[in-house]
Structure 1
């Protein structure tokens, strides 16, 4: 069973359908406005998407919490990773780490950043060479921004 990391050029629903329903709903508007400057990368096994994420190269609606930081990072050709997801049945196999490593190999001259809403994910991203850069709280909601190093 060979894993393939590839830029997904087919129907985006092949990736979208593995995401949680609330993510799919949030992504509809983001994808409508940002698909022209975004790329989906997936891990496939036996022609089935088992993990993936989206690389955004422009401001999206879900970047509002860190809008100023997003503008600066994107202007410096640091790309935003969004909607990174691994099928729950495949968790614990380091597929998220493989996806991140493969993306960095695909774009060796670029840096990446992302935001998270679950504090417990900070350790995962630090293990994958990201550094916590900002933390914001608004209306008792917290988000963290991490950048690749």
Structure 2
């Protein structure tokens, strides 16, 4: 299977925002002016439009407060954050999320990547791409998992 071709939508973020679930977009739109300079929106599409995409970043997002120190430590170690990874509903179970992550490993010069999940069910998906639990966070009475993956070729 050939690698996904990534397209950079960083300069047209609204295109990406329109593809995301509505409950994701308000906070992201508000934060974008502050994080855009250190972020890239990388997407894949087919003849019918958007299939999947996400943000890779070295910015401190507004909701990172509870783990901001760890975020800064990872950025200092040349890790990039992955956020808002989204696969269009009609393309789920096609392996696009995994292939997107493989493609960013080529596209983004990083020692590794990190992300935070709110649903334990996603752990299995990210583990297939080599991520492991770095720490379990307790935020507002809820659990979240900070996951990391390093690059062996760095």
- TM-based fold match above 0.5: yes
Find the counterpart in structure 1 of residue 117 from structure 2.
116
8 Å CA contact retained: 1:14, 1:49: no
2:32 maps to 31
Shift of 1:9: 4.3
Structure 2 residue 148 is the aligned partner of structure 1 residue 147: yes
Q: When the two structures are superposed, what TM-score results if normalisation uses the length of structure 2?
A: 0.89
Distance apart, 1:47 and its partner CA: 6.5
SS at match of 2:115: strand
Q: Report what 1:21 is aligned to.
A: 22
Equivalent residue, structure 1, for 2:53: 52
The answer as to whether partners of 2:135 and 2:147 remain within 8 angstroms in 1 is yes
More displaced 10-residue stretch of structure 1: 117-126 or 100-109? 100-109
Matches within 5 A, 1:118-137: 118-137=119-138
TM-score w.r.t. length of structure 1:
0.91
* Mapping 1:32-111, distance limit 5 Å: 32-46=33-47, 48-107=49-108, 109-111=110-112
Partner residue of 1:12? 13
The 1:144–1:10 alpha-carbon spacing in structure 2 relative to 1, beyond 3 Å, is same
What runs of 5+ residues in structure 2 fail to find an aligned partner? none
The alignment of Structure 1 onto Structure 2 pairs a total of residues equal to 148
Conserved? CA contact 2:136–2:146, under 8 Å: yes
User: 1:138 is matched with which residue?
Assistant: 139
Structure-2 separation of matches of 1:74 and 1:6? 24
3-state SS in 1 of match to 2:5: strand
